[in-house]
Amino acid sequence: MLGLRCILLTHFDETFYILAFYYMQIQFLGTSSGTPTKARNVSGLAIKKTNSKSWCLVDCGEGTQHRLLETNLTLKNLQAIFITHIHGDHCYGLPGVLASAAMAGRTAPLWLVAPAKIRSFVEGVIASTELWLNFEIQFVDVAEASSLPADLDFKLEVIQLSHRVPSFGYAFSEKVSGRKLDADQLRKDGVPSGPLWGQLQQGRSVTLDDGRVISGEDYFLPARVSRKIIIAGDNDNPDLLSEAMKNAHVLVHEATYTHDVLEKIGPGPQHSSAKLVADSAEKNELQNLVLTHFSPRYGAQTDSAMSINDIENEARNSYSGHLFLANDLDCFELQTDGSLAKV
Amino acid sequence: MLGLRCILLTHFDETFYILAFYYMQIQFLGTSSGTPTKARNVSGLAIKKTNSKSWCLVDCGEGTQHRLLETNLTLKNLQAIFITHIHGDHCYGLPGVLASAAMAGRTAPLWLVAPAKIRSFVEGVIASTELWLNFEIQFVDVAEASSLPADLDFKLEVIQLSHRVPSFGYAFSEKVSGRKLDADQLRKDGVPSGPLWGQLQQGRSVTLDDGRVISGEDYFLPARVSRKIIIAGDNDNPDLLSEAMKNAHVLVHEATYTHDVLEKIGPGPQHSSAKLVADSAEKNELQNLVLTHFSPRYGAQTDSAMSINDIENEARNSYSGHLFLANDLDCFELQTDGSLAKV
């Protein structure tokens, strides 16, 4: 599932430029709400580009490092951790991940983007359990978007959600390299490949041997649309993601209950039903919706009256796009044409 | 594996006295040192009487609650938690266990016997992650043995060990009800069962109808030897347990490395080799030794040069008693005759 999907080698003068086309990949490390079950761990999700070893972790419930043992992902290649909110089923695996990263010899700094209280949580655990880390944690308060990490594999957007505690969604977009020259057109126009192309790539004007003056600006191809995946934290109001959904290809959102159960429980826990999410996704013409964070009551053997199929059926009733219900270790790839495939 | 092994109903006057014979049971929830592996989780062990639903937990590494899902043990019936020392692989599962106990509706207070810093750890996590518990945690600083819980299923003894941070061993002994009357002898001596026996049981003297004066002290059977299991924390000096081993039936002790690896690594980590533990157990004529807390290097598929058999062979070279190497979810019963059986 990892590795390069396609590599084009283009000969520019004496230099080979490698243009790598990749998929955006997400892998679920936990899909249960609140407590783990035999089949589902609590929240955790890996996101990466298929042509890169580095990856990002969104949420880190207890046992996330155990799930990682079943994947190809390593703590050495972990670039950044994003925590959606402070509830334990989304962050109690952090101390173990940090400790195991240290024991695996990690020395590179690690970004931790999270609500400010996560910093208190982590620093408190480090102090009280004498945890020694041989790498630096670069804390970023999610409320201070200005200081978000610049060297990430993705562009990042933060969306504030509605839950019992401050909760956030993280939208990961491709960093599409701004502008690409139309090599075919350049050749047709008799502009020889070589150092000139480098100057044109920088948008400059150049004078050709025959006296013609041409500008890079006239040879740029239209910019490719950046692929975008939103990973939402716990949230009882999916419409808060409407704006972000407009140019997104995938939304990963909790569907803790079916709507009848949500109404029975009442609004206290501030979770979404499958219907609430599906309605919003349909309204916003979202292409791919992945539901997760299911209450353990669905699929529990002790309660055969409730099944994960109830969640699926309810969502399909409202949503006509591509719907997926995540299982632990499920891996999805967002392809260059914007379609999402389970791999 | 649970349930009553044997019940004797004895007719004393109008009253039935139930004398229940049980085994002492230990079940391993994690047997790896430092980090989890695919086969072994980090430290955790359950101890209970086979005739009781309640149980005690010794150490609580990350993922302990996940292992519990594979047993018959419930967080509702958890009586007390004992933590041997503050290292993460022995305590990072605590927040999740507490949270899941609350979500399962537990309201009964929970004993937590541990080094004082564990209280800071737990209280810090509760505050920073807004964890709401609907039960009280009764913290006991392990250094203050005087305030140890009195209503436990076992008598408790604490042994100070030698590690990088303060580390402790917990010895669990049967509460043998002090003295039992020799009913056969009483009948032979023509002492009729009834209220008189109750007075004799309290050690009093009574006057029989025929004028004889007899004392309960003359009819007590010899006290049965109390079974005792020691669960030791991380420790580089097994001889510190010599005194406790003298009347113990079982010692559970770390054997993180083989001796050659320990010598190569040096004394810094302050762990024991299989040889160190086995030598001490042999010297102290211990009946049953269970080794655990193995470095992930033993049995790792990537390093076929080292196997868990190396640990076993090294221990057998020094120790002539009954030797066991624990695997996750292994369950052992200490029988009334002092023998230990894997069940």
Active site residue A279: no
Quote the pLDDT of residue B302: 47
Q: What tens digit of pLDDT does each residue of B155-201 get?
A: 999 999 999 999 999 999 998 766 788 999 999 999 988 888 988 98
Tell me the helices (H) and strands (E) count for chain A, helix number first.
9, 18
* B18 inside 8 A of chain A by CB: no
B30-59 per-position pLDDT tens digit: 999 999 999 999 999 999 999 999 999 999
Q: Is B85 annotated as a binding residue?
A: yes
Average pLDDT estimate for A40-63: 97
Rounded to the nearest integer, the mean pLDDT of chain B is 90
In this predicted structure, the answer to whether residue B320 has a pLDDT above a threshold of 70 is yes
Q: Which residue has the higher pLDDT, B12 or B309?
A: B309
Q: Inform me whether the C-beta atom of residue A69 falls under 8 Å from chain B C-beta atoms.
A: yes
Burial readout B78-103 (b: 16 or more C-beta within 10 A, e: otherwise): bbbbbbbbbbbbbbbbbbbbbbbbbb
What whole-number distance in Å separates Cα of residue A234 and Cα of residue A33?
Answer: 10
Contacts of A296 (CB under 8 A, 6+ apart): A32, A33, A34, A35, A37, A40
Q: How far is A123 from chain B (nearest CA, A)?
A: 10
Chain A residues with CB under 8 Å of B37 CB are: 69
pLDDT at residue number B146: 61
- How far apart are alpha carbons B283 and B258 in whole angstroms? 19
| A96 vs B92, B104, B128: nearest CB | B92
Q: Contact B92/A118, CB-based, under 8 Å?
A: no
For chain B, say whether A9 makes contact (Cβ under 8 Å).
no
The CATH superfamily of B6-176+224-337 is Ribonuclease Z/Hydroxyacylglutathione hydrolase-like (3.60.15.10)
Q: What is the pLDDT of residue A180?
A: 82
Residue spans of the domains in chain A: they are 6-176+224-342, 183-219
Give B324→chain A minimum CA distance, Å: 26
Instruction: List, for residues A216-254, the tens digit of each pLDDT value.
Output: 888 988 777 789 999 999 999 999 999 999 999 999 999
Please count the CA atoms within 13 angstroms of the CA of A175 that sit on its side-chain side: 9
The pLDDT of residue A158 is above 70: yes
Q: Which of B41, B89, B165 sits opposite A130 (nearest CB)?
A: B165
Asked whether the predicted pLDDT for residue B11 surpasses 50, the reply is no
Q: Which of B89, B153, B279, B310 is catalytic?
A: B89
At B301, list the tokens.
């598929």
Rounded to an integer, what distance in angstroms lies between the CA atom of residue A176 and that of residue A339? 18
Fold of the domain built from segment(s) A6-176+224-342: Metallo-beta-lactamase; Chain A (3.60.15)
* CB-closest option in B35, B66, B88 to A129: B88
Closest CA to B115 of B161, B50, B64: B161
- Type of residue at B13: D
Mean pLDDT score of chain A, rounded to an integer?
90
List, for residues A257-279, the tens digit of each pLDDT value.
999 999 999 999 999 999 999 99
Residues of A with CB below 8 A from B35's CB?
65, 99-100, 103-104
A277-324 pLDDT, tens digit each? 999 999 999 999 999 999 999 975 445 578 999 999 999 999 999 999
A35, A38, A60, A85, best to mutate vs chain B, most B CBs in 10 Å: A35
**Is B234 marked as a binding-site residue?**
yes
User: How many helices and strands, by DSSP H and E, does chain B display?
Assistant: 9, 18
* Chain segment B209-253, per-residue pLDDT in tens: 999 999 988 998 887 778 999 999 999 999 999 999 999 999 999
Residue A17 has pLDDT above 60, yes or no: no
pLDDT for A127: 97
DSSP collapsed to 3 states, A96-124: HHHHHHHHCCCCCCEEEEECHHHHHHHHH
- H or E stretch covering A81: strand A78-82
Predicted complex: ipTM over 0.90: no
User: What is the identity of the amino acid at A310?
Assistant: D
Using the Cβ of B301 and the Cβ atoms of chain A, whether some distance falls under 8 Å is answered with no
